[in-house]
Amino acid sequence: MAGREYLIGSPRFIKSSGINLEPVAEKLSQLQGEGKTIMLLADGEQVVALLAVADLLREESRAAVAGLKNNGIDRVVMLTGDNQETARAIAGQAGVDEFRSELLPENKVEAVKQLLQQYGKVAMVGDGVNDAPALAVSTVGIAMGSAGTDAALETADIALMSDDLSRLTYTIALSRKTLRIIKQNVAFSLIIKAAILLLVIPGWLTLWLAVVGDMGTSLLVTLNGLRLLAARP
């Protein structure tokens, strides 16, 4: 009807507009229990239509979560703006340890801060504008490359160049290997420099030995670092 106002939005929005949801409560609960996000259409007096949408769980999601746990990640928490029933269904399918639902961007920031207080270090994975503030406050922010928004990519510390969640496990393994090689290179350098210093004291160090020691150290740490090229997902 011309001039008639309609509202469309989440059940929380429709309810806050003073519209009774009791007539559709059973159907609403059923759809949410199936992991679907519901949008309601109301004419100002009652709900006239329900729209149910659902994100398909990625095939690799459960394997990615299992891989994270196998790599020493103590707890995997899902932060989402979806309602509690939808979040519970998705969390069960993905195998995460905990979920927090109906979160606005500022709520995600608070959730990350709480997790930081509880666990000390938190890595946040996200791809949207809503995730950017939480990525900023996390210990390590990881943005999904091809699907991520500019805000998420600019805020994150790491950007994955594909949307394959299994890359998270590879990223952790690669970062740990990189840290080990850095420590090895520092140790090699200190040992060789200490040996050169010991040769100086009795006067045994010659110019060519000093050059060989310096160049040898550079070559050694460079070759050791090149081992990272052999790392594969």
Q: What is the pLDDT of residues 40-54, one digit of tens each?
A: 999 878 888 998 887
pLDDT digits (tens, 9 = 90+) for 70-97: 888 889 999 988 878 778 888 888 889 9
38: tokens are: 């519901």
User: Can you give the pLDDT at residue 201?
Assistant: 72
Q: Does the predicted TM-score (pTM) go above 0.85?
A: no
Taking 70 as the pLDDT cut, the residues of the chain under it are 1-3, 145-149, 233
Average pLDDT, the chain: 84
Map 17-83 to HEC letters.
CCCCCHHHHHHHHHHHHCCCEEEEEECCCCEEEEEEECCCCCCCHHHHHHHHHHCCCCCCEEECCCC
